[in-house]
Amino acid sequence: MFNRHSILSFLDNAFQSIEMPNFGNVNIDYVSSRLLAYRSTNKWLLLFNSVVWWPAAEGLMAIVEAVGTGVVGRQGFDNDRAFVPGCIELDDEENIVSILVRGEDIDLTGLAIQSNYDVQPEYGFWISVALAEKYKESLLATQTEIEQFIPPDFQHLLTIDEWDHPTWDMPPSRTVGFPHIANVLVASDPSLWIPVEAPNTHWSHWHPK
């Protein structure tokens, strides 16, 4: 069985071991994220579903990262937890040729791209930011795509898009939000989640790096 202390201790160790997302990752830009909490009778699971800009891979991607005692399969960037929900095609001068999201052409006239190369020097990132503002639900990994990471006997308890994500100076146990998430898991009671006053999940909190 588990309790609040064991959950927070597990999360602190996982973050220190880079076994849960670090939004300050220098190789991957986290554009927008969602956190889902699950539990069974004696195990628990947090699943992070994120839209990212990953230049070393396919550019615009969705990645699923799981942490907890109910994790299914291996963790790491070499497994099957990365998905390609869209495609940004640029010409040699970085003009947009086309953008697809889940196979559908995106109308560029409705896309508000605001580049700031002093913050992030890659145009693809800024396109990804604009896309996430308008098409987040389509860019996140779908329920079908994340089902493989959730054991069948686990109950979904919580879905949130804003929380105070840990940093090297502020591990999960010292944040405001993760102790509340631990309370939700222990009691199987989503009402114990209390929205944090100063969430940092927006990409702007992590740039420039």
Number of other residues whose CB lies within 10 A of the CB of residue 8:
19
pLDDT value, residue 92: 92
Overall number of domains in the chain? 1
**Cα–Cα dist 19/80, whole Å:** 16
DSSP three-state, residue 44: strand
For the packed helices 4-16 and 177-187, what is the interaxial angle rounded to 10 degrees?
Answer: 130
**What torsion, rounded to 10 degrees, do the Cα atoms 71, 150, 20, 162 define?**
-150
pLDDT at 72: 78
Tokens describing residue 74: 């291996």
Could you tell me the residue range of the domain that residue 34 belongs to?
Answer: 4-206
Q: What is the pTM of this model?
A: 0.95
User: Would the pLDDT of 203 be above 70?
Assistant: yes
Q: Are strands 82-83 and 59-67 parallel, antiparallel or unpaired?
A: antiparallel
Query: Which tokens go with 201?
Result: 């999940």
